[in-house]
Amino acid sequence: MNRNAIYRFLFCLLVVPLYALTQPVNLMPMPQQLTWGEGTFRLTSEFTIAVEGEAAPRLYHAATRALRRLSGRTGLFFAQDFITQESKSDTSQLQIICERPATVALGEDESYSLTVDAKSILLACKSDLGGLRGLETMLQLLQSDEAGYFFPEVIIEDAPRFPWRGLLIDVCRHWLPLEVIKRNLDGMAAVKMNVFHWHLTEDQGFRIESKVFPRLHELGSDGFYFTQAQVREIIDYAGDRGIRVIPEFDMPGHATSWFVGHPELASAPGPYTIERRWGVKDPVMDPTKEYTYEFLDKFLGEMAQLFPDEYMHIGGDENNGVHWNANAGIQKYMKEHNIPDNHALQAYFNNRILNILTKYGKKMVGWDEILHDEMPTDIVIQSWRGPEFLVRSARKGYMGILSNGYYIDLIQPAEFHYLNDPVPSDSALTDVEKSRILGGEATSWAELVTPETVDSRIWPRTACIAERLWSPVEVRDVEDMYRRLDAISFQLEELGLTHIKNYDMMLRRLTGNRDIGALKVFVDVLEPVKKYQRHRQGITYTQYSPMTRVVDAARPESMTARQFNQAVARFLMDGNAKDAAIIMRWFKIWQDNHAELLSIIKASPILWEMESLSQDLADLAGTGLEATALLQAGKKAEQSWLENAKIVIAGAGKPRGQTELMVVAGVEQLIMALAEK
Ligand code: ACM
């Protein structure tokens, strides 16, 4: 044995077992229990799958899709094409053993166990939903090395923490067609989410065909609505992925689009047109007319036939009461019936609607405004205004789901959503009260998204909310979450999601098909302004405003800025030269970028609004370079230099084009450290 071979042999002896014990876990959500083995299961074209036991067709479909995804990633030509009940089981390397077909309903068993050894993979589940969840785990386990593709040996026992793990998609403020919904359902399934909350009616659009009242969609949608055949297609598609579909028909407020064709439902005479702007509007249904309930009985009866899930969402949010207050008939009705205020009037309305839903075998879900002592406790309260509403409803005996803190349209970092727990470990609720909290939902409100940008506002951040709702409460290591989120984000692309690829495409359009390199360096450290600031900076967005500017291309969370700011923090902690080199390298890139970007900006009028911010990034980088050099040399800064640096920081901190430079914070830290010297 020559010396190299000896070293290689020693390396294998020492390092390989170590490696086997510290697999990079790229699972999201993290399973309940996981024990790594030391070997690997090698994936070859011989790989086949068989399903044993009793399963709904969806498990065969899911197994077939898993096979296609493995084939797509690896380029392996598997002999097996479709997995059916006829697929041979004795020789199959992946055996799926399922006890019974599932019903896609609240509380269905989704547990599974997955055992990978060197020769075979066993996926066992009670219901086929567990099989679906386990297949997604298996797909996330795939790795590669010099010998090819493999699954690491592992034993996983897994089940969700919460039974309700949802994503709301608003298709009203901006129309989002069938293919957008389908690819997002695939994304949800990949991270084990199981409720698609379909926000179908709004001030800005009535997005579902009604055969009973066709004027609703014909006049309320600009022609952008889902036919009932498409709705069935979505329900089937979701069901095939173990996802419940809960439609929301928002009432009595947020209902302007209903009144375009049916002004007689409203509390003020109209006429009405589709609302093009955002916010809380005055139009509201008239809860004092019997006609309203006759109409809603027929409409909800039609919808109850269409949607199989036991739950139906009636909205109930943000009724400002303006038209109720102004309507003499409604005021008289309230007096005659001892209804003290608008909240009580809405509770009266909700109870009438509840009777209708109950008649059609449905249970009610609504936003936290429906919480009222006049409401029975067998309804589900969705808390959006604050976690205290979830606590309050659980204490009063209601079931609840959390959305406050999961508003992904507010463009907050993944970390913020990730640490937001429906039942935090320090919760003061009793065990019985805790058990009423069913889970949560991320909400993709659509004021500022289009089919082109919506995926990037949903993914990858929604994956960390999915983990919060599935994984044990103790799983909350933020750094590890970000590491895994990056891996999962990339995998989500294979489902057709556009959150990564549309970035380059949008930048290309912004440059008019010039080189996007310099623009990317710049936009990589930008984020859209947070919360609802985008509506408060001098631009009035409407339903048909362009969503193609830099702010729309910029990602909700800049990973470059995060890494840069972290390197600054480490450098300030221990003066590490490696971190200094990282931040100096970034400063040089940003300093040089402006000259190159400027020629692109000059040639692309859509980019003009960003010129001064690009200049500010270069100035910021120059200041940062000087600050780092001073700190490294252990020198002090002149007072006049510090004054100037503060001016640069303040300038760079001002949003432009509704975006913010996310690296200002790191440079500010450097300046503060110098100022303290
Ligand atoms: C809501 O965000 N108005 C439920």
Q: Is the pLDDT of residue 16 over 50?
A: no
- The predicted model gives 595-611 an average pLDDT of 98
State the closest ligand 1 atom to the C-alpha of 315, by its place in the atom list counted from 1: 4
369, 384, 404, 408: which to mutate for ligand 1, most atoms within 8 A of CB? 384
- The predicted model gives 474-483 an average pLDDT of 97
Q: Cβ distance 48 to 84 under 8 Å? A: no
Q: Cβ distance 153 to 114 under 8 Å? A: no
User: For the chain, which domains are there?
Assistant: 33-158 (3.30.379.10), 168-363+439-494 (3.20.20.80), 502-676 (no CATH)
Q: Which of 318, 596, 609, 611 is an active site residue?
A: 318
Residue 367 CA to ligand 1 center (angstroms) comes to 7
Q: To which residue do tokens 């009973």 refer?
A: 212
Of 271, 173, 280, 290, the closest CA to residue 222 belongs to: 173
The Cα 271–Cα 260 span in angstroms is 7
Question: Is residue 177 reached through a cis peptide bond, with omega within 30 degrees of 0 on the bond before it?
Answer: no
CA atoms within 13 A on the CB side of 591: 13
The Cα 111–Cα 128 span in angstroms is 9
Would you place residue 327 in the very low, low, confident or very high pLDDT band (cuts 50, 70, 90)? Answer: very high
> Which residue CA neighbors atom 3 of ligand 1 most closely?
317
pLDDT at 652 (0 to 100): 98
State the closest ligand 1 atom to the C-alpha of 367, by its place in the atom list counted from 1: 4
Residue 390 CA to ligand 1 center (angstroms) comes to 15
User: 540: left (phi > 0), else alpha (psi -120 to 50), else beta?
Assistant: beta
Model confidence over 141-194: pLDDT tens digits? 999 999 999 999 999 999 999 999 999 999 999 999 999 999 999 999 999 999
Portion of the chain with pLDDT greater than 90, in percent:
95
Would you place residue 677 in the very low, low, confident or very high pLDDT band (cuts 50, 70, 90)? Answer: confident
Would you place residue 513 in the very low, low, confident or very high pLDDT band (cuts 50, 70, 90)? Answer: very high
pLDDT at 13 (0 to 100): 45
State the closest ligand 1 atom to the C-alpha of 318, by its place in the atom list counted from 1: 3
Portion of the chain with pLDDT greater than 70, in percent:
96
- The predicted model gives 315-343 an average pLDDT of 98
The Cα 311–Cα 300 span in angstroms is 12
Q: Are strands 244-249 and 195-202 parallel, antiparallel or unpaired?
A: parallel
- The predicted model gives 330-341 an average pLDDT of 98
Would you place residue 19 in the very low, low, confident or very high pLDDT band (cuts 50, 70, 90)? Answer: very low
Residue 407 CA to ligand 1 center (angstroms) comes to 9
Q: Is the pLDDT of residue 624 over 50?
A: yes
Residue 382 CA to ligand 1 center (angstroms) comes to 10
Residue 276 CA to ligand 1 center (angstroms) comes to 17
Q: To which residue do tokens 């790229």 refer?
A: 26
Phi, psi values for residue 310, rounded to 5°? -70, -20
State the closest ligand 1 atom to the C-alpha of 407, by its place in the atom list counted from 1: 2
Q: Minimum mean pLDDT among 214-218, 422-426, 647-651: which range?
A: 422-426
Ligand 1 first shell, C-beta below 6 A = 317-318, 367, 384
The Cα 9–Cα 3 span in angstroms is 10
pLDDT at 23 (0 to 100): 57
The Cα 359–Cα 312 span in angstroms is 13
- The predicted model gives 386-409 an average pLDDT of 97
pLDDT at 25 (0 to 100): 84
- Helical pair 178-190 and 128-141, crossing angle rounded to 10 deg: 80
State the closest ligand 1 atom to the C-alpha of 382, by its place in the atom list counted from 1: 4
168, 318, 444: which to mutate for ligand 1, most atoms within 8 A of CB? 318
The Cα 162–Cα 470 span in angstroms is 6
In 511-663, alpha helices (H): 517-523, 550-553, 559-574, 577-603, 611-632, 639-652
- The predicted model gives 384-401 an average pLDDT of 96
State the closest ligand 1 atom to the C-alpha of 384, by its place in the atom list counted from 1: 4
DSSP string, 326-382: T-HHHHHHHHHTT--SHHHHHHHHHHHHHHHHHHTT-EEEEEGGG--TTS-SSSEEE
Would you place residue 276 in the very low, low, confident or very high pLDDT band (cuts 50, 70, 90)? Answer: very high
The Cα 313–Cα 379 span in angstroms is 10
Would you place residue 90 in the very low, low, confident or very high pLDDT band (cuts 50, 70, 90)? Answer: confident
Model confidence over 479-503: pLDDT tens digits? 999 999 999 999 999 999 999 999 9
Q: Cβ distance 151 to 43 under 8 Å? A: yes
168, 201, 314, 367: which to mutate for ligand 1, most atoms within 8 A of CB? 367
Q: Is the pLDDT of residue 206 over 60?
A: yes
HEC readout, 520-544: HHHHCCEEECCCCHHHHCCCCCCCC
Residue type, 672: M
> Which residue CA neighbors atom 2 of ligand 1 most closely?
384
Would you place residue 86 in the very low, low, confident or very high pLDDT band (cuts 50, 70, 90)? Answer: confident
Residue 317 CA to ligand 1 center (angstroms) comes to 6
State the closest ligand 1 atom to the C-alpha of 254, by its place in the atom list counted from 1: 3
State the closest ligand 1 atom to the C-alpha of 443, by its place in the atom list counted from 1: 2
DSSP string, 402-424: E-TT--GGG---HHHHHT--SS-
pLDDT at 241 (0 to 100): 98
Residue 460 CA to ligand 1 center (angstroms) comes to 22
Model confidence over 537-589: pLDDT tens digits? 889 999 999 999 999 999 999 999 999 999 999 999 999 999 999 999 999 99
452 is catalytic: no
Query: 655 CB contacts (<8 Å, ≥6 apart)?
Result: 529, 533, 537
Q: Are strands 49-53 and 659-661 parallel, antiparallel or unpaired?
A: unpaired
pLDDT at 87 (0 to 100): 81
pLDDT at 477 (0 to 100): 97
Q: Is the pLDDT of residue 626 over 70?
A: yes
Of 503, 511, 502, 524, the closest CA to residue 606 belongs to: 511
- The predicted model gives 119-127 an average pLDDT of 98
